[in-house]
């Protein structure tokens, strides 16, 4: 029973993965390739840490050349990365990168798996990584991935022997893979998993090495490669009109949020894998050496193999439906083999081939993209047989109903049938949002309790239809998830997954509200109806010491999809304080506290994410001098909005507007993150910025990466950036110049201002500077020497030049009080004298 449920889940999730924007259909070449793949019973699991770590050249080669069932196990969903295509960070970025991986796998033919490990940001050492992750849980998930996918061969992207030389997540992924290899076949390890699956021993384990592991091609050429296998991953596939490396480039170009869009590659190229563990190889270049990857591998498989090999050898490209009798014969034999694993895997493949050969078109579309429990939805079913085969639609089952709907209709060639059916979404339906975000995660781990969900890329679709068919007399059930199909005049036909959403959701306009004094603020709550005729009220949950008026506000929304905005007045406490507020919508006695976030990009399917609606409120003790701030944008950050929240007037200065006259008006100019890495105009404009300082201005430069600085004169004095960073957000900060004005005016900065920081202290600190600079702070990760370049100040002419690698851009959106207070001091630099005179 449990096994059945698992198979069903895996099965459904794969169908959904195939459904990008449009359902996948196969041409003759693709059917032929699917038949070739059907005849290979071998599998490869590629393991690394992040979305975009995977070597798509090798994954594509294993999938398209070797024809192995190939999967990529990414331990994390990449929440800790940057987002180059939009504002989503953290969990929402993890959702985007999950979908980018699925898009990459649709391109290179692989499958996708995950663990519950959370990408918490950069980690210098695997020891730290494994401490922040729950090592035992992540190891359990790697074991689970191996026991359920059952790979013959595992290939690690990273070298387990290089702790401390690369991202700790990378090395940890390789270390966990090695550890798992030794225990997956031991029933005493993680025995609870064996309620749902069986033990498994992969045959061998490799490391996907490369010349860059050895510093240079020359060094690599000199190596003894007797324990390595090599593959030409530049193979040309005539049936696709593409070479393997071209496919690989298309796949890795799906990682658009990481700026991976790139040119394709062609021509012969070698990849190397180094043997690490398992049964040693003779000299053959076959990773499956010693494993029978033909149908003879499974008991009862020989007869199936004979039929399917003949289909492959005599494949009819003009009319693939001619093979239906043989395919159906193989299908019947396959249902009776004892090996559950291969039966499940190959049945899914074979069904897709049968469906494609018959030119079957089966689709269920809803009249709405989403619906709440207990609401009614109209479904349109399209059923079409585009072959001359004898096919009957016996019945169909809606997943929301216990019983099927009998049809007993013959599907005449190319005569489309349309049915309409109304369904009521069951009251107890679970929402379709990403399952790993259902409950709060920790810094290191997602919290998923259901063993059968662990590792799945997506939440299995809740509403689907089983079409029960008789194809040439053989009963076959084909399952389709409900989709929403629509068109736009300027875009054409579009698809979205059909979602089950709460009857009501609420969101706050900001993630953080900063109160720079004890004045009250009005906060807007947007309530959105997930069904028609919503009436109820909304109230706020808020921390002790704060006050919110009024207590309750009435909600009345007539139509699904409409919103109602209500305003609450929030009064902060008299002293520094922080907490969180949550709008709670009460409908018929039940509270709803989630917000719905929609993610819409063209390279991935439309995503609907549900997250607890919660914002941070912070009462700051903060003093400010100067009000008029100019901001020159870099790679994108929310620093301008954050400064506006504490009352500054922030003007965005476009590169072409950087002129002496324009700069003159500002109390301070702030450079956005990585501005000197990406803004070409700064080559010509930097002198105006330095002149602005000389004339008494105050220039604050946030972090830039050490490589690819566009200007030669980053600072008025010698200043060299490095890769020094402090990744521990709690690392002790030592104040080097306690009497320096920047640390005393107008706010007295102390160690308490470095409490509650998130993700890291800072990055790309300068490591060399001329004597004009004063370093104000020192910090370091454990086991490293002191880094003193986090905050450097120099007088230049009448003004102040300030360079800081501190991660203000991360701390502001997290509402970290000390970060605001310190930044207010940076903006106030040099204002002390004038204030004193005024007083």
**Which residues contact Zn ion (rule: CB under 5 A)?**
50, 53
DSSP code of residue 190: S
Tell me the residue nearest to Zn ion as measured from the CB.
50
What is the CA 513 to chain-centroid distance, rounded? Answer: 27
Q: Does 439 sit behind a cis peptide bond, omega within 30 degrees of 0 on the bond before it?
A: no
The minimum distance between CB 123 and Zn ion, in angstroms, equals 11
Nearer to Zn ion, 126 or 359 (CB): 126
Strand order in the sheet with 563-571: 504-508, 521-529, 563-571, 547-549
Nearer to Zn ion, 170 or 625 (CB): 170
Nearer to Zn ion, 50 or 124 (CB): 50
Nearer to Zn ion, 80 or 766 (CB): 80
- In sequence order, what E strands does 530-647 have? 534-541, 547-549, 552-557, 563-571, 577-587, 590-592, 594-599, 607-612, 615-619, 628-632
CA distance 728 to 14: 38
The minimum distance between CB 47 and Zn ion, in angstroms, equals 12
**8 Å CB contact between 504 and 592:** yes
Residue listed under structure tokens 């149908």: 295
Nearer to Zn ion, 41 or 132 (CB): 132
- What lies within 8 Å, CB to CB, of 675 at 6+ separation is 632, 633, 634, 635, 682, 701, 702, 704
Nearer to Zn ion, 53 or 108 (CB): 53
The minimum distance between CB 434 and Zn ion, in angstroms, equals 21
Alpha carbon dihedral 769, 775, 777, 781, in 10-degree steps, equals 20
**8 Å CB contact between 21 and 605:** yes
Could you tell me where the DSSP H helices lie in 188-300?
217-222, 244-252
Q: How far, CA to CA in Å, does 70 sit from each of 420, 586, 764?
A: 39, 48, 38
The minimum distance between CB 174 and Zn ion, in angstroms, equals 12
- Token pair for 826: 């940076």
**8 Å CB contact between 599 and 96:** yes
Nearer to Zn ion, 53 or 637 (CB): 53
CB atoms within 10 A of CB 751: 11
The minimum distance between CB 51 and Zn ion, in angstroms, equals 8
The minimum distance between CB 147 and Zn ion, in angstroms, equals 25
DSSP code of residue 660: H
Could you tell me where the DSSP H helices lie in 253-300?
none
CB atoms within 10 A of CB 340: 14
The minimum distance between CB 141 and Zn ion, in angstroms, equals 18
The minimum distance between CB 81 and Zn ion, in angstroms, equals 8
The minimum distance between CB 167 and Zn ion, in angstroms, equals 6
Nearer to Zn ion, 172 or 776 (CB): 172
Nearer to Zn ion, 122 or 315 (CB): 122
| Closest among 554, 560, 547, 558 to 586, alpha carbons compared | 554
Nearer to Zn ion, 53 or 595 (CB): 53
Nearer to Zn ion, 53 or 355 (CB): 53
DSSP code of residue 787: B
At residue 628, φ and ψ (nearest 5 deg) are: -95, 105
The minimum distance between CB 245 and Zn ion, in angstroms, equals 21
The minimum distance between CB 32 and Zn ion, in angstroms, equals 36
Strands 668-671 vs 698-701: parallel, antiparallel or unpaired: parallel
The minimum distance between CB 165 and Zn ion, in angstroms, equals 13
Nearer to Zn ion, 52 or 274 (CB): 52
- What lies within 8 Å, CB to CB, of 313 at 6+ separation is none
| Closest among 183, 202, 224, 209 to 290, alpha carbons compared | 202
CA distance 196 to 198: 7
- What lies within 8 Å, CB to CB, of 8 at 6+ separation is none
| Closest among 380, 462, 468, 372 to 424, alpha carbons compared | 372
DSSP code of residue 194: G
The minimum distance between CB 49 and Zn ion, in angstroms, equals 5
| Closest among 147, 309, 153, 169 to 231, alpha carbons compared | 153
The minimum distance between CB 172 and Zn ion, in angstroms, equals 11
**8 Å CB contact between 641 and 809:** no
């Amino acid at each position: 029973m449990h096994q059945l449920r698992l198979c069903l889940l895996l099965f459904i999730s794969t169908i959904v993965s195939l459904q990008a924007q449009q359902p996948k259909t196969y041409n003759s070449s693709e059917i032929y390739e699917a038949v070739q793949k059907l005849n290979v019973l071998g599998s490869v699991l590629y393991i690394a840490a992040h979305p975009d770590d995977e070597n798509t050249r090798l994954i594509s080669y294993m999938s398209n050349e070797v024809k192995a069932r190939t999967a990529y196990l990414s331990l994390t969903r990449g929440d800790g990365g940057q987002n180059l295509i939009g504002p989503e960070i953290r969990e929402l970025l993890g959702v985007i990168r999950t979908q980018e991986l699925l898009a990459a796998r649709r391109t290179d033919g692989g499958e996708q798996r995950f663990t519950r490990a959370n990408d918490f940001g950069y980690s210098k050492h695997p020891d730290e990584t494994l401490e922040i992750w729950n090592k035992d849980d992540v190891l359990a998930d790697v074991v689970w991935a191996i026991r359920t996918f059952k790979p013959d061969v595992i290939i690690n992207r990273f070298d387990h022997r290089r702790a401390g030389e690369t991202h700790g997540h990378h090395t940890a992924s390789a270390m966990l893979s090695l550890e798992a290899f030794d225990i997956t076949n031991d029933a005493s390890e993680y025995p609870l998993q064996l309620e749902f699956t069986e033990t498994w021993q992969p045959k061998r384990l490799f490391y996907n090495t490369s010349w860059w592991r050895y510093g240079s091609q020359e060094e690599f050429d000199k190596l003894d490669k007797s324990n390595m296998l090599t593959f030409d991953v530049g193979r040309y596939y005539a049936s696709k009109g593409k070479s393997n490396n071209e496919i690989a480039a298309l796949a890795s170009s799906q990682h658009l949020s990481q700026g991976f869009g790139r040119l394709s590659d062609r021509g012969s190229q070698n990849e190397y894998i180094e043997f690490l563990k398992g049964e040693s190889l003779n000299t053959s270049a076959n990773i499956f050496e010693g494993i029978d990857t033909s149908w003879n591998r499974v008991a009862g498989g020989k007869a199936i193999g004979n039929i399917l090999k003949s289909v492959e050898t005599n494949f009819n490209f003009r009319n693939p439906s001619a093979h239906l009798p043989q395919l159906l014969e193989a299908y019947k034999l396959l249902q009776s083999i004892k090996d559950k694993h291969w039966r499940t895997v190959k049945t899914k493949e074979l069904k897709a081939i049968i469906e494609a050969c018959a030119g079957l078109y089966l689709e269920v579309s809803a009249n709405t993209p989403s619906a709440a429990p207990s609401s009614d939805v109209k479904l349109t079913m399209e059923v079409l047989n585009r072959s001359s085969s004898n096919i009957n639609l016996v019945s169909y089952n809606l997943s929301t109903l216990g019983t099927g709907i009998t049809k007993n209709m013959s599907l005449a060639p190319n005569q489309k049938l349309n049915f309409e059916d109304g369904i009521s979404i069951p009251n107890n339906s679970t929402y379709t949002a990403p399952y790993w975000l259902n409950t709060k995660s920790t810094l290191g781990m997602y919290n998923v309790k259901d063993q059968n969900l662990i590792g799945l890329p997506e939440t299995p679709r809740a509403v689907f239809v089983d079409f029960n068919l008789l194809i040439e007399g053989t009963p076959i059930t084909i399952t389709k998830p409900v989709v929403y199909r629509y068109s736009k005049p300027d875009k054409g036909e579009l698809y979205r997954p059909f979602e089950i959403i709460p009857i009501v959701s609420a969101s706050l306009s900001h993630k953080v509200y900063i109160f720079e004094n004890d004045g009250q603020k009005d906060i807007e709550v947007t309530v959105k109806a997930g069904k028609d005729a919503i009436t109820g009220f909304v109230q706020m949950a808020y921390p002790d010491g704060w006050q919110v008026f009024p207590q309750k506000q009435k909600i009345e929304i007539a139509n699904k999809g409409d919103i109602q905005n209500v305003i609450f007045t929030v009064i902060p406490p008299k002293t520094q304080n922080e907490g969180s507020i949550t709008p709670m919508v009460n409908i018929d006695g039940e509270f709803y506290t989630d917000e719905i976030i929609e993610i819409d990009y063209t390279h991935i399917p439309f995503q609907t994410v549900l997250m607890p609606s919660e914002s941070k409120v912070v009462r700051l003790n903060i003093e400010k001098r100067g009000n008029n701030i100019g901001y020159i944008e870099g790679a994108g950050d929310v620093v301008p909005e954050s400064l506006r929240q504490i009352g500054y007037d922030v003007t965005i200065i476009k590169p072409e507007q950087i002129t002496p006259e324009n700069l003159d008006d500002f109390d301070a100019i702030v450079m956005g993150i990585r501005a000197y890495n990406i803004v070409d105009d700064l080559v010509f404009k930097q002198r105006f910025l330095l002149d602005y300082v000389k004339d008494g201005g105050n220039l604050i430069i946030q972090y830039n990466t050490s490589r690819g600085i566009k200007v030669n004169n980053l600072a008025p004095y010698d200043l060299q950036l490095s890769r020094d960073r402090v990744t521990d957000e709690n690392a002790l900060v030592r104040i080097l110049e306690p009497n320096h004005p920047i640390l005393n005016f107008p706010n007295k900065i102390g160690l308490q201002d470095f409490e509650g920081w998130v993700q890291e202290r800072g990055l790309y600190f300068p490591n060399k500077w001329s004597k004009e600079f004063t370093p104000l702070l020192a910090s370091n990760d454990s086991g490293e020497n002191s880094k003193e370049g986090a905050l450097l100040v120099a007088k230049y002419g009448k003004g102040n030049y300030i360079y800081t690698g501190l991660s203000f851009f991360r701390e502001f959106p997290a509402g970290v009080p000390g970060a605001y207070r310190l930044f207010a001091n940076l903006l106030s630099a040099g204002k002390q004298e004038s204030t004193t005179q005024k007083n």
